[in-house]
Structures are given as structure tokens and as C-alpha cells.
């Protein structure tokens, strides 16, 4: 198999490069004029001022009508001066229909917004994205072809917006020192301007960015600034001060032991931009107390690890530099970093990233820490072909895991993209060594009607995954996804079609482990509404036995009303009891699940989010000694989140998380329990890096102390407060 993968990778590399020019309009250069004075929002509220900048109109839809004129007129005015690039959007619409809320930064999901994207190296692979809703609430991200949009990118820029009687106006001012670009006498960048109208499911851009092509950045137009730009000195110091009081009860083996900590801590994040395109980041004693808890997920009776996304700012920033087709670096493997150093940047056709981190919580012995090093480099060989390399090393006392690999991405034509990855690992525990391999090959088709993905993974049992997210090893897996949609010129029904997904998994000796096949239909409607219905079939080997499974699944969502959005996923299927009390007899029963999310926006400043997760497993009568069968477990998770945003910078939120697990001790090793977590936080976020946050948290469980003993016993109600935390954190960004 290694020989086959190597041959496939070689074919990808030696295929002739093709020039990807999807639209002639994307090759037209737009010359940006110098602003006599910085544009002001007020100047565009009653008309268009003189010297407004170059005007860009005639936006074309990307969805729902690919290439049709935008349903509402938008004009973007671009200009620049010595320090900033300016964009002013004048958006026409009925003010009563515009969806906009006063929200904290990066939290205006479901709103209308405008977008400016800049490919500052004009490499047709990467871009900076800047978004703002009609109130000027801002968000930013990085786009890299072949990867998910990096929404964790944060930089300093200005935005403001105002609703008008003809629609709304938004002003953006992007400092050059917040961007990365080449040192050249004339700047030639790729760019696009766009607008999203939420109630119509409409995305419109200039130039036309078609969904019929596999790439987004390659379709951008060219922007020319006819003089040399100075990014200026860009060094940042971001110190923080934290004061907190924590009291926690550990409940190991039903023995209660209190841990009380009062802590005053100071730390520092620092950034230094070297030249125009490289950045060095340092963190010392980072604290993440303000990070919101993970969204609820069903983890009860799961056979493999469930992914919880990273939320810590230091690891989120520039995370895209370390991404590979199969994630070989998963930053949540770093539990308690004490210090870290990161370098990321671009040079010519190269992109590179390096990370050094000290993880103090990596061992039971708190005096020991894991030393972690990660490096990645990528070269854009041609416009269509990129090659990358990856290395990681983790050392902890007598243990060491090392991984090295390479990957390639090739855009075959307008619709097909191929990716390949090879990696090897070496693990050592004292004098014992073992090695492992990972091979990955993927082909993806993007078109107006057909979307297709096929990928093959081969991971040995002993592949080192102490830093990777690989829920399964000892695996040879083939996965396919296919969708075919018919499009309709209808105000309500936009498209409908058929969907099929299949997965076949074997171990390294080619013994079948499981397979699944989902077939269904789907439809997309206006106002961000959709419906998918699946029939499922499958097979799985577990504890030496074969289980055939079948079931059904429904997914639906809608934002039909501006004040309410809903997402529901529910289904029923044959499910294995992965945590049996004794692995005897048939372990498969009938499982049901519900995942419901409601988002209420009763006012521009208020938001109420409700999330319900429920699942259960029942064994049929023939599997138990009971006539009617019995319930193995019932699991309920409920999150209520109340948010109030006084203005763009000041807000508060309250989160209540309730978890109830009721299990049958005769059928499963899962333990029943109840838990309620309350979390209150008030924050003043002036800009990324400058904030004042105060928080309080409380945890209660259905436990009680046995009199005259430190032992615990289960109760029916939430009788015991097992955790409490209060803190204040201040950080301030000094930009030099």
C-alpha cells in the first residue's frame, strides 16, 4: 500500500500545472486612488462625497443564483492613505427587513454583513477577510485554499456602521501594519468585496465568485496601489493581571477532598513583526480563565474520542500555519502551557510556522513538564501545486514521540482538487522503541450540481498520536460523500437533491471492522432553511462479535424569522452498548437521540440560546431477563445562555449547564449522576488584546457527605456545591 500511495503522490507532483482563470473580469486591475482625507461615515449617509474613492458596483450572486445579479444594490468605495486602506459600503435595502444586532466582536451570526477580502501576496491561495454587520460589529479571519476558514485570526482595525432610511452604510479602515505584504514599489493584490443578505440566503461579490469552481481566492480581481507602502513598526506587548479564588471538591472513589486556591498572577503575550511578513509570538504564564466552556456534546457510550475544538487564544492565532490534511497537531493535547514561542510567516512562495511550548500538566508528577516542538513549511510550487512538510516532537521524562511527514495539494482543473499526505512516527518509552505510518489520499469535486469527496486513510496501530487528533489507529478506511442538487428559480425552494455517504473500515491485516451507508434527500430553502432525511445501514465488529445496524436520521434548520433560528437533529438506530457491565450476550439495542438548538433575539441587544441534547439506549427483552426489555441509560444535557450587549464593547452573559445521566447498574458500567454549572461573566472588550473581564462560577452535584466521614454518597437532588470560582482579569495591548 505504501508503494501505491507513493506512486499517487508522484503523479500529483508531476502533473503539468494549469493556469486557473475562471472569469475574465477577475483579471481586470482596479487602481485605488489616494484619499485626500480619511473617509468618514457621516459623509455617506446623505449622499456620496467628492473623492469618495473608486466605486465598485454590479455585485453578482454566489448563492442562491450563481452569477445572477444581486437582488439589492451595493456600492463599495475603496481608497488609501499612508497608513490605511479604506472601504465604505453603501447597501440598499428596506430598513425594516435588515437583520442586525448589537453584539460583541465576532458574534453576529444570522445578521446581514459586508465583506472585504485581500490576497496581499497575490498568490491566489490565501487572503485576509474582514466582515462588519450594519452596526459596524466586526469579525475577521484568514482563508487558505484547501483548509477551513480560520475564524480565529484577530487583528487591529476600525469599523463602524449605521442604519439609514435607504439601507445601511459601513466603513472599514484597515491599517497596513495589521497586514502582511511584499516590499515592492507597487502593490498588486487580489481582492473581492461582498455582501450577505441573511433572509434571502444571498451571498453576492464583485467580481463574481462562482461556486462552480473549486477555489475562492483564485477568482478574485486585482487591486493596484501605485506606490510603495510602509507597514511601519509593528511590535505588541500584551500584559495581563489575574486575581482569582477557587474552591473545588475532588470526588475520586467517592472520597471528598477540598482544594482551595487564591491566586494572583501576571503574564505576558508579545508579538514582533519581522520585515513585512513574519511574526514572532511569545507567551509567558498564559491564563485562559475567561474562555467559555465547551459546547455540550454527547460523549456517553461513545467508542471513539469526540472532538472538542480549541478555544484558547494563543493556540488559535495563526493555527492555519500548522494544519495538515490529517491533523497531526491538535493543540488541546497541550494541557497547561507555562511558556511558548511561535514564529509564523511568508517569504516569496514559502509559508512557515514553528512552535515551542512547555506543558506543565503533562505528567502526574507536577514537577515534570513536556517539551513540545512543532514545525511546518509549505511551498507554492506553481499556482496550482503546493508541497508541505511537517515535524513534531514531544519529550516527557523517559518518553518521546516524533512525527515527520509531507503533503501535497494539486488543483487539477476548475472543479477537481487532489490532496495527499505521508507521515511516519517514532515512539520511545525508556529503551523500547516502535514506529508507525500514516498515508492519506483525497480527491474533491466542487460544482454547481455535483459535490463529491473520496478519501483513503491508512494508519498503523503504533502511530504516535500524543499530539495528533486520531480517534482511531490500526485503520485502513475508505470514505465517500456525494451530493447532486437540482436548482430552482423559486423564491422559497432554492435547490433539492440526493445525498449518499459510505465508509468502510478495516484493520492493518485487512479484517473488516465496520461499514456504513447513508442515503437520503435534501433541500435548501430561503431564509437559511434546509431539510435532510437519511436512511442508515451499517455493520460493526465489537468484542469479537458482528452487529448489523439500521436506522434513520433527520436534520433540519431555519432562520425564517429574524428573531428566531432553530436547528434540530434527531433519529433512531441500532446502537451498541460500549460500556457493558459484563461483555456477555448480545450488546445491541435501540438508541434514540435529539439535538435541538434555539436562538432567540427578542431585541437588538438581547440573545437567549437554548441547547438540548438527549439520547438513550434500550435493550430488547430477549437481551435481558426482563419481559419488556430495559433501559441501559438516559442522558440529558441542557444549556441555557443569556447574553446582553449594552454596546459593541460592554456586555454580560450567564450560562447554566445541566447534565443528568440515569443508568442501569445491571447493564452498564456508566454511573448515574446530576450536575449543574452556573457561569456569570461581564466583559469590556475594547479590541483584541484589550479587555476587562470579571467572572463567577458555581458547580453543584447530587452528592452529600456521610456524617463523621469524608466519604460521599449519592443523593436525589443537587445537594452539594462542589466547586466555586471568582476572578477578575485585565489585559491591555500596547502597540508600538
pLDDT of 621 reads 66
pLDDT of 362 reads 61
Cβ-based neighbours of 215, under 8 Å, separated by 6 or more: 20, 22, 124, 145, 411, 417
Whether 91 is covered by a domain: the verdict is: yes
Using CB atoms within 10 Å of the CB of residue 674, give its burial: 0 to 12 exposed, 13 to 18 middle, 19+ buried: buried
d(Cα 244, Cα 250) in Å, to the nearest integer?
19
Three-class SS state of 25: helix
pLDDT of 612 reads 96
- Whether residue 43 has pLDDT greater than 70: yes
d(Cα 294, Cα 660) in Å, to the nearest integer?
17
Model confidence at 589, in pLDDT bands (50, 70, 90)?
very high
Model confidence at 530, in pLDDT bands (50, 70, 90)?
very high
Alpha helices for 398-513 (secondary structure H): none
pLDDT of 185 reads 86
The residue count for the chain: 736
pLDDT of 171 reads 96
**pLDDT mean over 481-504:** 93
The kind and range of the H/E element at 327 are none
**pLDDT mean over 696-720:** 89
Residue 2's CB is within 10 A of a number of other CB atoms, namely 10
Using CB atoms within 10 Å of the CB of residue 511, give its burial: 0 to 12 exposed, 13 to 18 middle, 19+ buried: exposed
Model confidence at 28, in pLDDT bands (50, 70, 90)?
low
DSSP assignment letter at 710: S
- Identify the CA nearest to 162 among candidates 95, 240, 110, 212: 95
Domain containing residue 56: CATH number: 2.60.40.1190
pLDDT of 251 reads 83
The answer to whether the bond into 332 is cis (omega within 30° of 0) is no
- Identify the CA nearest to 355 among candidates 335, 377, 336: 377
- Whether residue 369 has pLDDT greater than 90: no
- Whether residue 16 has pLDDT greater than 50: no
Structure-block grid coordinates of residue 47: 449622499
- Whether residue 48 has pLDDT greater than 50: yes
- Number of domains the chain is built from: 1
Contact 136, 116 (CB under 8 A): no
**pLDDT mean over 95-100:** 92
Q: In this structure, what are the phi and psi dihedrals at residue 297, rounded to the nearest 5 degrees?
A: -140, 150
Whole-number average pLDDT of the chain: 88
pLDDT of 6 reads 39
d(Cα 624, Cα 335) in Å, to the nearest integer?
42
User: How far is C-alpha 540 from the geometric centre of its chain's CA atoms?
Assistant: 30
For cell 514572532, name the residue. 280
Contact 54, 78 (CB under 8 A): yes
Could you read off the pLDDT of 165-197 as tens digits, one per residue? 999 999 999 998 888 888 888 899 999 999 999
Structure-block grid coordinates of residue 708: 463523621
The kind and range of the H/E element at 588 are strand 588-603
d(Cα 620, Cα 667) in Å, to the nearest integer?
12
Q: Taking the alpha carbons of 394, 395, 400, 406 in that order, is the dihedral positive or negative?
A: positive
d(Cα 604, Cα 95) in Å, to the nearest integer?
14
- Whether residue 623 has pLDDT greater than 60: no
For cell 456525494, name the residue. 482
Structure-block grid coordinates of residue 425: 512516527
pLDDT of 233 reads 59
d(Cα 197, Cα 190) in Å, to the nearest integer?
24
Whether 496 is covered by a domain: the verdict is: no
Q: CA dist 501 to 105, 370, 440, 585, 651, Å?
A: 37, 40, 19, 31, 43
**pLDDT mean over 93-117:** 91
Q: CA dist 152 to 128, 144, 194, Å?
A: 12, 13, 20
**pLDDT mean over 212-240:** 85
pLDDT of 648 reads 87
Domain limits for position 115: 32-225
Model confidence at 629, in pLDDT bands (50, 70, 90)?
low
256-265, 591-600, 695-704: the lowest-pLDDT one: 256-265
Structure-block grid coordinates of residue 264: 494572583
- Whether residue 422 has pLDDT greater than 80: yes
d(Cα 607, Cα 108) in Å, to the nearest integer?
11
- Whether residue 88 has pLDDT greater than 90: yes
- Whether residue 148 has pLDDT greater than 60: yes
Structure-block grid coordinates of residue 412: 487539477
- Identify the CA nearest to 522 among candidates 548, 479, 484, 561: 484
- Whether residue 444 has pLDDT greater than 90: yes
pLDDT of 12 reads 36
Contact 238, 733 (CB under 8 A): yes
- Whether residue 90 has pLDDT greater than 80: yes
Three-class SS state of 639: strand
Q: CA dist 95 to 132, 426, 494, 528, 604, Å?
A: 17, 61, 25, 20, 14
Model confidence at 4, in pLDDT bands (50, 70, 90)?
very low
Q: How many helices (H) and strands (E) does the chain have?
A: 2, 40
pLDDT of 178 reads 84
d(Cα 136, Cα 44) in Å, to the nearest integer?
14
Contact 250, 260 (CB under 8 A): no
507-516, 588-597, 661-670: the lowest-pLDDT one: 661-670
- Whether residue 686 has pLDDT greater than 70: yes
Looking at per-residue confidence, does 112 or 348 come out higher?
Answer: 112
For cell 434527500, name the residue. 521
**pLDDT mean over 647-676:** 92
Could you read off the pLDDT of 641-659 as tens digits, one per residue? 999 999 889 999 999 999 9
Q: Give the whole-number percent of the chain exceeding pLDDT 90.
A: 60
**pLDDT mean over 672-683:** 94
pLDDT of 484 reads 96
pLDDT of 677 reads 95
Whether 74 is covered by a domain: the verdict is: yes
Q: 681-715: b or e for each residue (b if 16 or more CB lie within 10 Å)?
A: bbbbbebbbbbebbbebbbbbbbeeeeeeeebeee
Q: In this structure, what are the phi and psi dihedrals at residue 654, rounded to the nearest 5 degrees?
A: -130, 130
Contact 75, 84 (CB under 8 A): no
Could you read off the pLDDT of 304-333 as tens digits, one per residue? 988 888 888 888 878 888 989 999 999 999
d(Cα 266, Cα 275) in Å, to the nearest integer?
30
Q: Please measure the distance between the N-terminal and C-terminal CA atoms of the chain and give it in whole angstroms.
A: 54
Contact 286, 269 (CB under 8 A): yes
Q: Give the gyration radius of the chain's Cα atoms.
A: 27
Whether 73 is covered by a domain: the verdict is: yes
Q: Which of 69-73, 277-281, 360-364, 666-670 has the highest mean pLDDT?
A: 69-73
E-state strands within 275-397: 278-284, 337-347, 350-359, 370-380, 385-396
Looking at per-residue confidence, does 635 or 272 come out higher?
Answer: 635
Whether 115 is covered by a domain: the verdict is: yes
Looking at per-residue confidence, does 681 or 29 come out higher?
Answer: 681
Whether 84 is covered by a domain: the verdict is: yes
Whether 48 is covered by a domain: the verdict is: yes
Whether 46 is covered by a domain: the verdict is: yes
Could you read off the pLDDT of 123-139 as tens digits, one per residue? 888 899 999 999 999 99
- Whether residue 627 has pLDDT greater than 70: no
d(Cα 161, Cα 67) in Å, to the nearest integer?
28
For cell 495563526, name the residue. 318
Residue 92's CB is within 10 A of a number of other CB atoms, namely 13
- Whether residue 2 has pLDDT greater than 50: no
Q: Give the whole-number percent of the chain exceeding pLDDT 70.
A: 93
Largest CA distance in the chain: 85
Amino acid at each position: 500500500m505504501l508503494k501505491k500511495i507513493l506512486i499517487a503522490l508522484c503523479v500529483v507532483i508531476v502533473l503539468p500545472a494549469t493556469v486557473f482563470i475562471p472569469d475574465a473580469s477577475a483579471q481586470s486591475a482596479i487602481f485605488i486612488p489616494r484619499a485626500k482625507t480619511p473617509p468618514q461615515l457621516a459623509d455617506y449617509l446623505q449622499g456620496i462625497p467628492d473623492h469618495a474613492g473608486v466605486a465598485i458596483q454590479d455585485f453578482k450572486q454566489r448563492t442562491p443564483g450563481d452569477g445572477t445579479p444581486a437582488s439589492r444594490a451595493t456600492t463599495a468605495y475603496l481608497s488609501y492613505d499612508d497608513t490605511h486602506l479604506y472601504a465604505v459600503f453603501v447597501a440598499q435595502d428596506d430598513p425594516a427587513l435588515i437583520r442586525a444586532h448589537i453584539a460583541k466582536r465576532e458574534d453576529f451570526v444570522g445578521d446581514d454583513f459586508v465583506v472585504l477580502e485581500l490576497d496581499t501576496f497575490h498568490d491566489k491561495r490565501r487572503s485576509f477577510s474582514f466582515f462588519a454587520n450594519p452596526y459596524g460589529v466586526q469579525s475577521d479571519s484568514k482563508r487558505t485554499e484547501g483548509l477551513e476558514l480560520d475564524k480565529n485570526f484577530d487583528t487591529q482595525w476600525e469599523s463602524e456602521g449605521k442604519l439609514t432610511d435607504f439601507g445601511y452604510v459601513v466603513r472599514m479602515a484597515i491599517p497596513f501594519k495589521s497586514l502582511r505584504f511584499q516590499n515592492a514599489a507597487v502593490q498588486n493584490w487580489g481582492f473581492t468585496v461582498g455582501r450577505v443578505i441573511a433572509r434571502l440566503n444571498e451571498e453576492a461579490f464583485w467580481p463574481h465568485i462562482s461556486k462552480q469552481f473549486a477555489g475562492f481566492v483564485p477568482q478574485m480581481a486585482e487591486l493596484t496601489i501605485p506606490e510603495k507602502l510602509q507597514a511601519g513598526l509593528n511590535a505588541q506587548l500584551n500584559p495581563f493581571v489575574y486575581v482569582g479564588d477557587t474552591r473545588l471538591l475532588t470526588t475520586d472513589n467517592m472520597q471528598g477532598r477540598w482544594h482551595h486556591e487564591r491566586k494572583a498572577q501576571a503574564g505576558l503575550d508579545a508579538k514582533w513583526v519581522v520585515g513585512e511578513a513574519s511574526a514572532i509570538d511569545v507567551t509567558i504564564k498564559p491564563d485562559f480563565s475567561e474562555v467559555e466552556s465547551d459546547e455540550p456534546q454527547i460523549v456517553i457510550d461513545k467508542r471513539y474520542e469526540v472532538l472538542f475544538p480549541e478555544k484558547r487564544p494563543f493556540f488559535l492565532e495563526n493555527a492555519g500555519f500548522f494544519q495538515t490534511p490529517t491533523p497531526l497537531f491538535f493543540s488541546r493535547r497541550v494541557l497547561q502551557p507555562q511558556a511558548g514561542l511561535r514564529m509564523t510567516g511568508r517569504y516569496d512562495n514559502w509559508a512557515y510556522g514553528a512552535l515551542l511550548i512547555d506543558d506543565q500538566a503533562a505528567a502526574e508528577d507536577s514537577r515534570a513538564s513536556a517539551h513540545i516542538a512543532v514545525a511546518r513549511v509549505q511551498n507554492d510550487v506553481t499556482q496550482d501545486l503546493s508541497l508541505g512538510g511537517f515535524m513534531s516532537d514531544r519529550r516527557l521524562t523517559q518518553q518521546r514521540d516524533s512525527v515527520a511527514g509531507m503533503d501535497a495539494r494539486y488543483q487539477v482543473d476548475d472543479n477537481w482538487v487532489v490532496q495527499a499526505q505521508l507521515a511516519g512516527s517514532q515512539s520511545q518509552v525508556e529503551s523500547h522503541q516502535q514506529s508507525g505510518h500514516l498515508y492519506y489520499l483525497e480527491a474533491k469535486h466542487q460544482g454547481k450540481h455535483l459535490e463529491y469527496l473520496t478519501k483513503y486513510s491508512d494508519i498503523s496501530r503504533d502511530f504516535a498520536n500524543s499530539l495528533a487528533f486520531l480517534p482511531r489507529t490500526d485503520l485502513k478506511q475508505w470514505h465517500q460523500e456525494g451530493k447532486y442538487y437540482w436548482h430552482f428559480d423559486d423564491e422559497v425552494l432554492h435547490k433539492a437533491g440526493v445525498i449518499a455517504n459510505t465508509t468502510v473500515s478495516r484493520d492493518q491485516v485487512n479484517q473488516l471492522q465496520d461499514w456504513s451507508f447513508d442515503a437520503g434527500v435534501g433541500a435548501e430553502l430561503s431564509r437559511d432553511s434546509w431539510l435532510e432525511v437519511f436512511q442508515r445501514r451499517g455493520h460493526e465488529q465489537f468484542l469479537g462479535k458482528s452487529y448489523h445496524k439500521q436506522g434513520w436520521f433527520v436534520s433540519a434548520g431555519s432562520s425564517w424569522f429574524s428573531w428566531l433560528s432553530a436547528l434540530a437533529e434527531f433519529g433512531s438506530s441500532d446502537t451498541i452498548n460500549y460500556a457493558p457491565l459484563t461483555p456477555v450476550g448480545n450488546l445491541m439495542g435501540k438508541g434514540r437521540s435529539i439535538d435541538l438548538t434555539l436562538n432567540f433575539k427578542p431585541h437588538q441587544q438581547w440573545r437567549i440560546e437554548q441547547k438540548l441534547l438527549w439520547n438513550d439506549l434500550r435493550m430488547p427483552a430477549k437481551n435481558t431477563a426482563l419481559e419488556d426489555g430495559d433501559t441501559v441509560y438516559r442522558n440529558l444535557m441542557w444549556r441555557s445562555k443569556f447574553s446582553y450587549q449594552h454596546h459593541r464593547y460592554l456586555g454580560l452573559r450567564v450560562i447554566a449547564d445541566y447534565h443528568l445521566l440515569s443508568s442501569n447498574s445491571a447493564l452498564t458500567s456508566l454511573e448515574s449522576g446530576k450536575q449543574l454549572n452556573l457561569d456569570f461573566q461581564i466583559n469590556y472588550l475594547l479590541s483584541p488584546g484589550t479587555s476587562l473581564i470579571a467572572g463567577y462560577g458555581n458547580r453543584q452535584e447530587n452528592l452529600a457527605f456521610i456524617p463523621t466521614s469524608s466519604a460521599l454518597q449519592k443523593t436525589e437532588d443537587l445537594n452539594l456545591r462542589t466547586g466555586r470560582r471568582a476572578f477578575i482579569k485585565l489585559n491591555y495591548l500596547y502597540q508600538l
